[in-house]
Amino acid sequence: MGFFTWKEQFSVSIPEMDQQHQKFFQMMNQIHQYNSRDERDPDYFDELYRELYGYVLNHFDEEEKLLEMTGYDGLAVQKKQHQYFRDQLIEFRKQHIEGGQAVSQSVLNFMRDWFLNHILETDKHYGKYLQKV
């Protein structure tokens, strides 16, 4: 079992968004596994990070476009929360480069907790909204 485990209760009832959320969990598990290694290849971490960051940017962009197209009134909150997470990912990368070590468990915990909270508290609302539209 990975550090980030998808559960059906995380579903926002929008299959495409659920698939993207699940992919994020898989990517975070890859970083968690990287931390477990005795020897860490910084080039491999860079690859994992670039993939994760690009994926998050794409997911947030797709989610925001979907919500904008449907006139969702919680879009501003989504954008604000997404920007905060992007900023944290940039900081996460800086810490890794400066420290040259494994990603701290506290960073992984933060990312897991933020993402779960975002899905369960914010994304669930648009899932309900889009089912009615």
Cβ–Cβ under 8 Å, residues 32 and 4: yes
Where residue 21 sits, what CATH number does that domain have? 1.20.120.50
Residue 77: inside a domain: yes
Residue 51 lies in a domain: yes
pLDDT score of 40: 73
92: number of Cβ within 10 Å: 20
For residue 59, tell me if it sits in a domain: yes
Whether residue 36 is contained in a domain is answered as yes
Domain membership flag for residue 21: yes
- Residue 51 pLDDT: 92
Would you say residue 3 lies in a domain? no
Q: Which token pair is 89?
A: 């990912």
In terms of residue numbers, what domain contains 89? Answer: 14-132
Is residue 7 classed as helix, strand or coil in its secondary structure?
coil
Q: How many domains does the chain have?
A: 1
Flag whether 86 is in a domain. yes
* pLDDT < 50 stretches in the chain: none
User: Angle formed by the axes of helices 15-36 and 105-117, to 10°?
Assistant: 170
What tens digit of pLDDT does each residue of 84-111 get? Answer: 999 988 888 887 777 655 566 777 788 8
